[in-house]
Amino acid sequence: MTVEAKKETLGFQTEVKHLLHLMIHSLYSNKEIFLRELVSNASDAADKLRFEALSNDGLYAGDSELKINISFDKDAKTITVADNGIGMTRDEVQEHIGTIAKSGTKQFFDALTGDQAKDSELIGQFGVGFYSSFIVADKVTLTTRKAGASAEEAVCWESAGEGDYTLEFVEKDTRGTEIVLHLKDAEEEFLESYRIQSVVKKFSDHISLPIIMDKEIPAETDEEGNETALARIEDEVINSASALWTRSKDDISAEEYNEFYKHVGHDYQEPLAHIHSKVEGTTEYALLLYIPGRAPFDLWDRDAKHGVKLYVRKVFITDDAEQLMPRYLRFVRGIIDTDSLPLNVSREILQQSKKISTIKGGAVKKVLTLLTSLANDEDGSKYTNFWKEFGNVIKEGVIEDSKNKDKIAKLLRFSSTHSDAEVQNVALADYVSRMQEGQEHIYYVTADSHVAAKNSPHLEIFRKKGIEVLLMSDRVDEWLLSNLTEFDSKHLQSVAKGELDLDKLDSEEDKKEQEEAGKDFESVLTQIKEILGDKVSEVRLSHRLTDSPACLVTGANDMSLNMERIMKESGQDLNMMGMGGSKPIFEINPTHALVTNIKAEQDDDRFADITQILFDQAILSEGGQLENPTEFVHKLNALLQNLLK
CATH of the domain at 307: 3.30.230.80
Residue 439's domain is classified under what CATH number? 3.40.50.11260
Q: Is 643 helix (H, G, I), strand (E, B) or coil?
A: helix
Same domain for 427 and 476: yes
Residue 245: Cβ within 10 Å count: 24
- For residue 251, tell me if it sits in a domain: yes
The three-class DSSP label of residue 625 is coil
Residue ranges in the chain modelled with pLDDT below 70:
1-5, 13, 15-16, 23, 25-29, 98-128, 218-219, 222, 225, 227-232, 302-306, 321, 344-349, 503-508, 510-511, 514, 517-518, 567-581, 645
- Tell me how far apart the alpha carbons of residues 540 and 559 are, in angstroms, rounded to a whole number: 19
Say if residue 18 is in the same domain as residue 157: yes
Which residue, 467, 495, 523, sits at the end of a domain? 495
Cβ atoms of residues 446 and 453 within 8 Å: yes
* Cβ neighbours for 413, distance < 8 A, ≥ 6 positions apart: 387, 391, 424, 425, 426, 427
Alpha helix (H) ranges present in 137-290?
193-203, 254-265
Q: Please state the domain count of the chain.
A: 4
The span from the CA of 496 to the CA of 615, in Å, is 16
In angstroms, the CA 242 to CA 256 distance is 12
In a domain, 408, yes or no: no
Clarify whether residues 213 and 260 are in a common domain.
Answer: no
- CB within 8 A of 152, min separation 6: which ones? 1, 2, 3, 5, 169, 170, 171
Q: Whole-angstrom Cα distance, residue 367 to residue 292?
A: 12
Contacts of 414 (CB under 8 A, 6+ apart): 424, 426, 428, 444, 470, 471, 472
Q: How much is the pLDDT for 118?
A: 59
Assess contact for 358 and 283: CB atoms under 8 A. yes
Specify the pTM: 0.74
Residues 65, 153, single domain; the answer is: yes
Q: Are 297 and 108 in contact (CB under 8 A)?
A: yes
Q: How far apart are CA 258 and CA 392, in angstroms?
A: 26
Assign residue 644 the CATH number of its domain: 1.20.120.790
- Measured CA to CA, the distance from residue 150 to residue 538 in angstroms comes to 78
| Whole-number Cα distances in Å, 314 to 39, 42, 263 | 18, 17, 16
Q: How far is CA 250 from CA 76, 93, 254, in A?
A: 44, 41, 10
* Residue 2 CB neighbours (<10 A): 8
Amino acid in position 457: P
**Spatial distance between the Cα atoms of 308 and 310, rounded to a whole number of angstroms:** 7
Give the pLDDT confidence score for residue 536 in this predicted structure.
93
Give pLDDT, residue 103: 47
Q: Which of 205, 237, 269 is the last residue of a domain?
A: 237
DSSP 8-state assignment for residue 135: G
Q: Which residues pair with 221 in a beta bridge?
A: 227
Give me the domain span that covers residue 466.
Answer: 413-495
First to last CA, the chain: 93
In angstroms, the CA 477 to CA 93 distance is: 43
What does the alpha-carbon distance between residue 381 and residue 384 come to, in Å, rounded to a whole number?
5
3-state secondary structure of 242: coil
Are residues 465 and 525 part of one domain?
Answer: no
367 in the same domain as 455: no
**How far, in Å, CA of 225 to CA of 232, rounded?**
18
3-state per-residue secondary structure call for 522-547: HHHHHHHHHHHHHHCCEEEECCCCCC
SS3 86: coil
At residue 154, what are phi and psi to the nearest 5 degrees?
A: -65, 160
